Structure formats: C-alpha cells, structure tokens
Amino acid sequence: MSVLSVIVPCYNEEENIRYFYEELWKNTPFFQEKGIEVELLFIDDGSGDHTVEEIKKLRASDPRVHMVSFSRNFGKEAAIYAGFQKAVGDYIVIMDADLQDPPSLLPEMFRYLEEGYDSVATRRVTRKGEPPIRSFFARMFYRLMNRISKTEIVDGARDYRLMKRQVVDAILSMGEYNRFTKGIFGWVGYRTKWMEYENIERRHGETKWNFWKLFLYSLEGITAFSTAPLAIAAVIGIIFCILAFAAILFIIVRTLIWGDPVGGWPSMVCIILLVSGVQLFCLGIVGQYMAKTYLEVKKRPIYLVQEEF
C-alpha cells in the first residue's frame, strides 16, 4: 500500500489549522479509492500562538495527523526540509496552511504523476490582491535571476508541489544551510509538469512576508544560485582599470604638450569618491558570498525539534 504525505509548514496559523484539515479530507477520497493512504504532517515553525494546541486537538481524534514542532522560528525553508526528512510517503506534497494552495487540485496533480511525471508544480498566473509595486519587483527579480543563473526559477511558482519519493530524496541530498527552495526544485530537475491557477487570497491572518523580507530573500536566492555578481564585480574592476589607464595616457600627453598647470582638484575628488564607492560595492558583493560560505562551513543544524508525534 502506498502513502501520500501532506507536509504543511505552519507559523502562527491557529485559525487556519482546523479549516485546512477539513478542506484537505474533502479532497482525499480520490486517494483512498486508489488504495493510497494519506498522512498529514504539520511542521510547526516555532509559532507563538495556539497552533500546536490546534494540531494536538486534531491528533486526539485522528492518528493520521503528525507534527514536528521547532524550538523557534527557523523559516519555511527549514520547515519544508524537516517535512521531507520526516515524511514516509511514496508521494509527497507541500501545502500552505492558509489554503492558498487549493487541495482540490490534488487529484489532477496526481494524474500527472501517473502519466509519468516525477513532480507536479504549480504557479499562479495572476498576482491578484498583491500591491502592484511588489508584483513589479517580483517580476524584475525573476527576470534577473533567470539571466544570471543556470537554474531555472519560474515566475509565480508556488511551493505547492506533488513529488515522487525519488525527487524528495534528491532534494534531501542537498544539505545546504541556505535553502532557497525555489532554486533547489529547479536544480534537481526531473520531469516536471507545471499547472497554473489563479491566485487565491489567504483565508485568515496576514502574510508573513513584507517587502523588506522579500528583498532579503531575493538576495539569498541570488547568492545561493548564481555567482554572476562576483563576475560582475571583476568586470567592473577591469573597466575601471582600462579607464584609469586611458586617463593616465591622456594626462601624460597633455602635460608633455601644454606643461602642467595645477588644477583639477574638484575632478580629483569626484574620481576618488566614485572609485572608492565602486570598490566598496564590489567588496560588499564578495562579502555576501563569504558570509554565506561562513554560515555553510559552520554546519549548524537546519532546524531543532521541540516535540514530535
């Protein structure tokens, strides 16, 4: 008998847990008919509200409910990783607790696996209900990312994905500390079917992402899946060397022809400011990669468990 594991990362989702649970079971008879057992695995990402209590209430009457709770908030990426490690299923799906990932798509997603795909991913085609400025920057980010990284990162991709065991094992073999999941999915490859759907707004509560968090997250994505900024820093360095060389030649020739009238103090200041600015910028880029390397070599655990059942 095969098993489908449903992984649900939760961070302060007390109002959504029960509702999610009910919605999910409404869509699982399809799997039971096929003889597939469903296990539900909540990953509590250090919630400060009653999320854990809500999950325990469900567990009291339903042994198919499992939970791993973290000792503090480690982020959704860590929750997904923990879910993959703990899930026993032959098929594994990640879903948000806020019902932005509609469980009603599951049967159709599963049919694609039967057709021979290894992984069925979803992307939202509209960004309804999102501030336009955020959509704009999101688009820019995806465009930039796909230009500078060999890993394909799809615009509007959600983490809602149904996968076969093989894909999950591949993802688990990537033990990195900086886990940019969207990139990791692209990096492992496998036959992936993309399904599209309209964005659905959160059932309860607020999104945990503000603009600043998303910005930092995009930097994370860039440093995790591209080294192009390092190359860009080097290219800027070369361009400035060439400019400097041309300027030196110009000054020598000018001095030989017209002598050396002292002057050029303001232009000198501008040049110094510009060049030192560029140097600091490039140093900053190098620093970003160094910081990431530093975090990786420490080999800290990706999450710590508080409680598990």
Tell me which residues touch ligand UDP (CB under 6 A): 9-11, 13, 45, 73, 75-76, 79, 96-98, 100, 202, 207-209
Supply the minimum distance, in Å, between the C-beta of residue 144 and ligand UDP.
20
Report the alpha-carbon distance of residue 241 to residue 216 in Å, rounded. 31
Q: Which is nearer to Mg ion, 86 or 202 (CB)?
A: 202
Q: Which is nearer to Mg ion, 48 or 277 (CB)?
A: 48
Report the alpha-carbon distance of residue 24 to residue 126 in Å, rounded. 24
134 contact, one of Mg ion, ligand UDP, none, CB 5-8 Å limit per kind: none
Supply the minimum distance, in Å, between the C-beta of residue 11 and ligand UDP.
4
Report the alpha-carbon distance of residue 223 to residue 143 in Å, rounded. 15
Q: Which is nearer to ligand UDP, 64 or 208 (CB)?
A: 208
Supply the minimum distance, in Å, between the C-beta of residue 12 and ligand UDP.
7
Q: Is 10 within 8 Å of 97 (Cβ atoms)?
A: yes
Supply the minimum distance, in Å, between the C-beta of residue 203 and Mg ion.
9
Angle ∠(242,245,250) on CA atoms, nearest 5:
125
Supply the minimum distance, in Å, between the C-beta of residue 205 and Mg ion.
9
Supply the minimum distance, in Å, between the C-beta of residue 269 and ligand UDP.
46
Report the alpha-carbon distance of residue 291 to residue 287 in Å, rounded. 6
Supply the minimum distance, in Å, between the C-beta of residue 10 and ligand UDP.
5
9 contact, one of Mg ion, ligand UDP, none, CB 5-8 Å limit per kind: ligand UDP
27 contact, one of ligand UDP, Mg ion, none, CB 5-8 Å limit per kind: none
158 CB-near residues (< 8 Å, 6+ apart): 96, 100, 101, 121, 122, 123, 124
Q: Which is nearer to ligand UDP, 9 or 229 (CB)?
A: 9
Q: Which amino acid is at 291?
A: A
Helical H runs in the chain? 14-26, 29-33, 51-61, 76-86, 106-115, 132-148, 165-172, 181-188, 211-225, 228-258, 265-298
278: buried, middle or exposed (CB in 10 Å: 19+, 13-18, 0-12)?
A: middle
14 contact, one of ligand UDP, Mg ion, none, CB 5-8 Å limit per kind: none
76 contact, one of ligand UDP, Mg ion, none, CB 5-8 Å limit per kind: ligand UDP
Question: String of b and e for 84-97 (b: at least 16 CB within 10 Å)?
Answer: bebbebbbbbbbbb
Q: Which is nearer to ligand UDP, 207 or 306 (CB)?
A: 207
Supply the minimum distance, in Å, between the C-beta of residue 114 and ligand UDP.
27
Q: Which is nearer to Mg ion, 74 or 187 (CB)?
A: 74
3-class DSSP string for 79-102: HHHHHHHHCCCCEEEECCCCCCCC
Residues that bind Mg ion in the complex, under the rule CB under 5 A: 96, 98, 100, 202
Q: Is 160 within 8 Å of 124 (Cβ atoms)?
A: no
Q: Which is nearer to Mg ion, 165 or 202 (CB)?
A: 202
Q: Which is nearer to Mg ion, 80 or 188 (CB)?
A: 80
209 contact, one of ligand UDP, Mg ion, none, CB 5-8 Å limit per kind: ligand UDP
Return the H-helix or E-strand segment holding 9: strand 2-10
208 contact, one of Mg ion, ligand UDP, none, CB 5-8 Å limit per kind: ligand UDP
